[in-house]
Structure 1
Amino acid sequence: MEGDVSGFVLILRKDARPPADDLNDKMHQALRIFGTDRGQVVNAGRFTAIWTHDTGYTPQDRFEHQPVMIGTRWLLLFCGFLMHRDELAAKLGVSESEAPRLADSALVALAWEKWGTDCLDHLGGPFSFAVADCERQSVFAARGQERGISLYYHDNAARLILATSTKPIFCDPAVPKAIDELRMADHLVMNHEDKARSFFRDISIVPAGHTFVADPRHYVARRFYSLDRVKDIRFARDDDYVEAARELLEKAVAASMRAPQTPALSLSSGLDSSAIAVTMLGQIAAGRHPFSGPVKAFTAIPAAGWDRIARPGWEGDESAPVRALARHYPALDVEFVSSDDWPYDHGLDLLQSYADVPLAGVGNLHWGLELARHGRKSGARVQLSGSSGNAGLSLATRDILFGQWFRHGRWLNLIREYKAAARHAIPPQGFSLRRMMGAAIVPNLPDWLYDRHQARKGQAMSMLVHSAINPAYAEDLGLAERMAMLGRDQRYRRPRTRRELMRIMVHRGARDNSGAIAEAFKVMSGVQTRDPLGDRRILEFCYAIPDDQFYRDGTDRRLIKRVMAGRLPQEITSARRGEQSADWHSRMARDLPRISAEIERLGDDPAMARRFDLDRIRRCLAQWPAATPVSIADCPDAQFMRFGIGRAIAAARFINSVEGKN
């Protein structure tokens, strides 16, 4: 879930010189792309607070006015969306009649006044905020864990600048607009673990789940949130877990539906978005919201020229199960959005210009952006999705548990469960001792033996397999050693436990970029996307409960299936996993001449030729397969073609934009 289209800047001047009004005005104008309805510049002692905001995403937007003064000491700036507002208001002693007239920033200000820095224990949702202490000339800022709004900072001799975008920071002539080469190289090999490093030299970022404390002499960022702090949950009855999860789902969806009109939905054939759809419809029918149905939903489908080839066990066209869901629930009004007319790089340049980050998954940009735009055309200002479901409520753990049971000597349980899994497979499979031992033993091999095993299968993995980075450039920067130092396994091996998997999915640095990309989506589409299944309460609950709530008796993703039992049609519960952008091959094939010309232009730039493996890209473009490759048997560079080439082009365009070469 993501916050309102808005932004802020907080400046702490390090001496007694008066505010630089010209600089403040430039920063205000730079920030206005994130909010044009309202804005303000306020000077208070050594601080300058700059704020912009767009209204129309929540009923409380019209009450928003910042910065919020807390007594005579503190000044607060907030950007985001609060989950579970009613519960927070009750804790703060705000009456039920008064709460609907308080903006989110006002509630955060009351929380700060009551609890100080401990207010973070009571706030949920995607947010970033900053509090200026005018008495002590210090700053306290925080970025929420739930895909919180980006929070950048720059420190120089004259001032400390804290902002939700780099654009106002670059208005300061003391800040060079230059790429951080190491961060860009990390991005190309999907190493996002240096979380405080932005893509710009001399600008840092507050990671999600961290606080930032500063005064004129120093600053420090510290983690305030971790799943590891969550205590175990154990219930007497198996059904108690289902009831608790269902209640959390209901509350998360209700909180995410805080909107002026009926929210739209990004819908696939998966369990996550289907669960959200059914929950939305049930709440509207029960009169829990001030708007009525139907719920408008949008489903992406492949372009007409797709050859209908997808990975074994995956479904590239999810329309049939979605149609079945719509037949089951007539109040669900589904529109199918085809990618027929969109180039492979649809919306890429504009999105990167807003987001301050290069895009990793170019192949999924077109449908994500267009579903949001179709939602806006339908009249919605808010659109829900189930994008975080795989990290919690619908977590798949079967393969991890096979290795875990073998490691712990639970061999009878392993055999029983493997046989059950084979029966539940689509299509059903017979028992194979060889396959079972492979599933159980390979995850436990030491790295050196695992490497040999993968090499024999022709599946040796390293950071270079899917990346278009120049190997010599990667070696010069010491990227392999850097990945090891930061704890990023370039083999991309499966985690050893379910909780380790969840920690990776929730805390890994790649998730930090999603907030910036979502903000760019909002600017481009006019729709605020929210992700109920990313609610901190749901993720903490899923982390705390036993493994068997996610897999037992051959049933994977067991928790969400039991939560939604009897509410989803069989076409959804038995559907194969949906493959996003299954038509990537044919869509790129349409644009091969343009892609090839762009690669040749990169070759004319020595700096680009040093960064990227242009020869490998040229070779792949020249040998483009006639049909969609889904494995190394089809094409050894299949994954490189699908992911590496687009990532390289996006990175190169981002670099050129920063350096003024576009």
Structure 2
Amino acid sequence: MSDFAGIFNFTPNPALRSNLEAMSLAMREHAFDSRDSWVLKNLGLAHQLLQRSPEDRYERQPLQEPPYTIVGDIRIDNREELAAELGISSLKIPSLPDSRLVLLAYQKWGKNCFSKLVGAFSIAIFDHSKGELVLARDPLGQKPLLYHEGSDFFAFSTLSKALHAHPRIPRKLNEPKLAELLALNHNDHRTTVYDSIHRVPPSHFLKVTNGRIQIEKYYDLATIEPIRCKSDQEYLDLGRSIFEKSVKSALRSDRPIGAMMSGGLDSSSVACVAANLLAQEGVTLPTLTHVPQHPKGDEGTQSQYFDETPLVHQIHKKTKNLRLNFVKSTGRTLFHELDRRQRLIGIPDRNPLNHIWIDQISELAEERGIRVLLGGARGNMTLSYNGIPHLSELAKKGNWIRLATMLRQGAKELPGSPLRLLRNQLLAQYKPIVALHRLLNKDDIRYLGWKGYSALNNKYAQEIDIDTRNERLGFDPRFLPPSDPRAFRIVLLTGPDYFGDFSRVLSGAFKTEIRDPMADLRLVRFCLSIPDEQYIKNGQPRSLIKRMMANVLPKSVLENKRKGLQASDWPERLLMAKPQIEAELALLQKSDTARRILDLDRMKNLVEHWPSGGWYERETTYHYHYLLPRGIVVGRFIRRFEEGKL
């Protein structure tokens, strides 16, 4: 696990070493075990390593093997298969660091090697014989990679703060990008919140030759070939085998491993499979679960439960090789560690109320010596995909008998009325009907789009034509059922643009690497290639993972229809932060940028009309769980940037 930075000057520049050193210094707030830098002619590279995998002890980056030099943040999960293709003896694999494995692959296949890599990576390779620099990022964007294109130089890093340490890279906010973030549009994978810094998109490589930049896509999830098995059991057996391999790959570490675990299907599946694998080595898996500050028993809403504790204890009864740890984050608000997090990551938080418990879990992991944390964030689009859009596909194809059978079978399993669910899925795909429905329900906050949940200033939104930007990027602020469910899954899988950044900040701040077996490319390919009916077999949403984990997870988890709200005590925490929110709003009034981008009057009005109850009702949730905290966090980011503190 690494941070790195580099400068490629197109003409000789005597300041190369000093500029590289400035960038290297900017990375040092992130945790590291070793660091090194390297300069040759017009190229300078800096790297710092946080050892997590057994092979990391052999890492010596930047790694030179003429005519190439490589630097990167690399974790390769298909090491054995890759080594076999390269003709490397199995005896040599344990002492072969990931950087050298990638370099050997590049020597054999060139840029075609990136499509052969399974894992999380951001890589820079320089070919001295051609004077060519290549940057590449993994297909799901699990590792960040940023760059600046100057008139006579090219700079890159995993961190925006390292790029801003270069004296010739301007510090200017990209205000339209901030507006997109406020609208929750994260579909533009190339831009950042800074005018002069761009991002290498997932599944792409960038090539710099003779001062010219080319960006090419090397992998496309949409082109995955379908898999057709002879029986349902074959799908289960194949999926289980791939999932276990994904979890086993995530366990590759010479440091203690833990797991973030809720009472839901995704994280508990990862944790239990990992615990069973570790039991074979006599190792117990510690789990970390967030619970409310002041639990009040089994309360919640019709669709959500608030306390994970009962389900987690049920999971433990079934899988004994777990060591449970519960985290309450007592007394913390959205302002806790906010400035440090923004300084480390260089962008505003998308879900500031969730970072309260995520940070607390990461801190506890660091205290317990845990250096790798397993999670299951991408599960909703892979193994535990609900398959509900398949019903509308059956209707569109006129397969009424099969549809009626599935609706009857799933009458007790589908959320709400099956017929109403089908109606909503179908109608959402016809724009005239959606427009009419929106007109008839104009007072329903769900149909206001970003205006219902965002602190974005409407005047500024009109100036930049935010609605056209959203449409161009394929983003629907009303979150209606997609017309192409598979394409929508791929959009979510290839990342919101910030995903790799937030993963990296946790490792930098708390020395803990987050690994998600649900995002393993082998599992992703399987999940996108099988028939959608496998996910809603017999009308049961999320059928695939439920059948796969039937002998691992308790019935209370498998049959649970409600979702866990892990930040369920957010109203209490928001009330604790009210004085700071009021103070921040007063400070934001002094910022021209904040006044232009944010609807500060609306935010102030929400504070002045603080609700006394009904916190989990839709309109209150939209205003106080989404709009207000996100607006405050973006505003504080703007203010601190203008003050030179970011």
> 2:232: which partner in 1?
238
Q: 2:623 aligns with which of 640, 647, 653?
A: 640
Q: Deviations over 1:12-71 (max 9, x none)?
A: 11113445322222222122233543222212232112112122x111121110111122
What letter corresponds to residue 364 of structure 2 in structure 1?
H
Contact 2:7 2:45 in 1 (8 A): yes
> 2:324: which partner in 1?
334
> 2:606: which partner in 1?
620
Q: 1:75 aligns with which of 69, 77, 81?
A: 69
User: Structure 1 residue 482 and structure 2 residue 476: aligned?
Assistant: no
Q: Secondary structure at the match of 1:7?
A: strand
Q: Secondary structure at the match of 2:553?
A: coil
Q: Secondary structure at the match of 2:446?
A: coil
Distance 1:235 1:299, change over 3 A: same
Question: Which blocks of at least 5 consecutive residues in structure 1 are unaligned?
Answer: none
Q: CA deviation at 1:457?
A: 5.3
User: Structure 1 residue 558 and structure 2 residue 549: aligned?
Assistant: no
Q: Deviations over 1:299-342 (max 9, x none)?
A: 10011177976442211111101001112222211111113221
Runs of 4+ in 1 over 4 A off after TM superposition: 305-309
How many pairs are equivalent? 642
> 1:581: which partner in 2?
567
> 1:660: which partner in 2?
643
Take 2:211 and 2:143, find their aligned partners in 1: how far apart are those partners? 26
Q: For residues 52-67 of structure 1, what are the structure 2 equivalents within 5 Å?
A: 52-55=48-51, 57-67=52-62
> 2:313: which partner in 1?
323
Take 2:134 and 2:385, find their aligned partners in 1: how far apart are those partners? 35
Take 2:39 and 2:83, find their aligned partners in 1: how far apart are those partners? 30
Contact 2:184 2:477 in 1 (8 A): no
User: Structure 1 residue 607 and structure 2 residue 593: aligned?
Assistant: yes
What letter corresponds to residue 630 of structure 2 in structure 1?
R
Take 2:264 and 2:422, find their aligned partners in 1: how far apart are those partners? 30
Q: CA deviation at 1:469?
A: 0.8
Q: 1:282 aligns with which of 276, 281, 287?
A: 276
Q: For residues 440-459 of structure 1, what are the structure 2 equivalents within 5 Å?
A: 440-446=425-431, 447-455=434-442, 459=446
> 1:16: which partner in 2?
12
> 1:144: which partner in 2?
138
> 2:123: which partner in 1?
129
What letter corresponds to residue 17 of structure 2 in structure 1?
D
> 2:176: which partner in 1?
182
What letter corresponds to residue 626 of structure 2 in structure 1?
F
Q: CA deviation at 1:234?
A: 0.5
What letter corresponds to residue 21 of structure 1 in structure 2?
R
Q: 1:117 aligns with which of 107, 111, 121?
A: 111
> 1:491: which partner in 2?
478
Take 2:436 and 2:16, find their aligned partners in 1: how far apart are those partners? 62
User: Structure 1 residue 368 and structure 2 residue 358: aligned?
Assistant: yes
Q: Secondary structure at the match of 1:648?
A: helix
User: Structure 1 residue 86 and structure 2 residue 71: aligned?
Assistant: no
Contact 1:296 1:378 in 2 (8 A): no
Q: 2:342 aligns with which of 322, 337, 352?
A: 352
Contact 1:19 1:43 in 2 (8 A): no
Contact 1:210 1:221 in 2 (8 A): yes
> 1:258: which partner in 2?
252
Distance 1:305 1:67, change over 3 A: same
Take 2:460 and 2:285, find their aligned partners in 1: how far apart are those partners? 50
TM normalised by structure 2 equals: 0.95
Distance 1:217 1:262, change over 3 A: closer
Q: CA deviation at 1:458?
A: 5.8
Take 1:502 and 1:166, find their aligned partners in 2: how far apart are those partners? 28
User: Structure 1 residue 465 and structure 2 residue 461: aligned?
Assistant: no
Take 2:425 and 2:105, find their aligned partners in 1: how far apart are those partners? 49
Contact 1:85 1:255 in 2 (8 A): no
- Relative to structure 2, which stretch is displaced further, 469-478 or 33-42? 33-42
- Relative to structure 2, which stretch is displaced further, 233-242 or 457-466? 457-466
Take 1:39 and 1:277, find their aligned partners in 2: how far apart are those partners? 33
> 1:100: which partner in 2?
94
Q: CA deviation at 1:91?
A: 2.1
Take 2:425 and 2:181, find their aligned partners in 1: how far apart are those partners? 32
- Relative to structure 2, which stretch is displaced further, 448-457 or 318-327? 448-457
What letter corresponds to residue 422 of structure 1 in structure 2?
A
Take 2:540 and 2:23, find their aligned partners in 1: how far apart are those partners? 54
Contact 2:390 2:533 in 1 (8 A): no
Distance 1:18 1:603, change over 3 A: closer
Q: For residues 153-552 of structure 1, what are the structure 2 equivalents within 5 Å?
A: 153-287=147-281, 292-304=282-294, 310-398=300-388, 400-424=389-413, 435=420, 438-446=423-431, 447-455=434-442, 459-508=446-495, 510=496, 512-552=497-537
Q: Secondary structure at the match of 1:383?
A: strand
Contact 1:184 1:199 in 2 (8 A): yes
> 1:597: which partner in 2?
583
Contact 1:46 1:137 in 2 (8 A): no
Take 1:524 and 1:586, find their aligned partners in 2: how far apart are those partners? 26
Q: CA RMSD in A?
A: 2.1
Q: Secondary structure at the match of 2:147?
A: strand
Q: Secondary structure at the match of 1:455?
A: coil
Distance 1:306 1:152, change over 3 A: farther
Q: Deviations over 1:397-443 (max 9, x none)?
A: 22x233323222223333332232222358xx7x776x366345433
Q: CA deviation at 1:627?
A: 2.6
Percent identity of the aligned residues?
Answer: 26
Q: Deviations over 1:498-554 (max 9, x none)?
A: 31331221135x2x3111111111122121110011001111111110011100212
Distance 1:17 1:602, change over 3 A: closer
Contact 2:76 2:120 in 1 (8 A): yes
Distance 1:548 1:359, change over 3 A: same
Take 2:613 and 2:392, find their aligned partners in 1: how far apart are those partners? 35
Q: Secondary structure at the match of 1:211?
A: strand
Take 1:467 and 1:246, find their aligned partners in 2: how far apart are those partners? 40
Q: Secondary structure at the match of 2:61?
A: coil
Q: Deviations over 1:156-180 (max 9, x none)?
A: 2331112111222222222111111
Distance 1:99 1:437, change over 3 A: closer
Distance 1:228 1:322, change over 3 A: same
Q: Secondary structure at the match of 1:232?
A: coil
Contact 2:372 2:514 in 1 (8 A): yes
Q: CA deviation at 1:192?
A: 2.0
What letter corresponds to residue 645 of structure 1 in structure 2?
L
- Relative to structure 2, which stretch is displaced further, 527-536 or 618-627? 618-627
Distance 1:23 1:436, change over 3 A: closer
Take 1:58 and 1:262, find their aligned partners in 2: how far apart are those partners? 11
Q: Secondary structure at the match of 1:187?
A: helix
Take 2:455 and 2:273, find their aligned partners in 1: how far apart are those partners? 42
Contact 1:34 1:52 in 2 (8 A): no
Question: Which blocks of at least 5 consecutive residues in structure 2 are unaligned?
Answer: none
Q: CA deviation at 1:453?
A: 5.0
Q: CA deviation at 1:206?
A: 0.7
Take 1:89 and 1:456, find their aligned partners in 2: how far apart are those partners? 60
Q: 2:552 aligns with which of 562, 567, 573?
A: 567
Take 2:570 and 2:310, find their aligned partners in 1: how far apart are those partners? 20
Q: CA deviation at 1:580?
A: 2.5
Q: CA deviation at 1:278?
A: 1.8
- Relative to structure 2, which stretch is displaced further, 155-164 or 205-214? 155-164
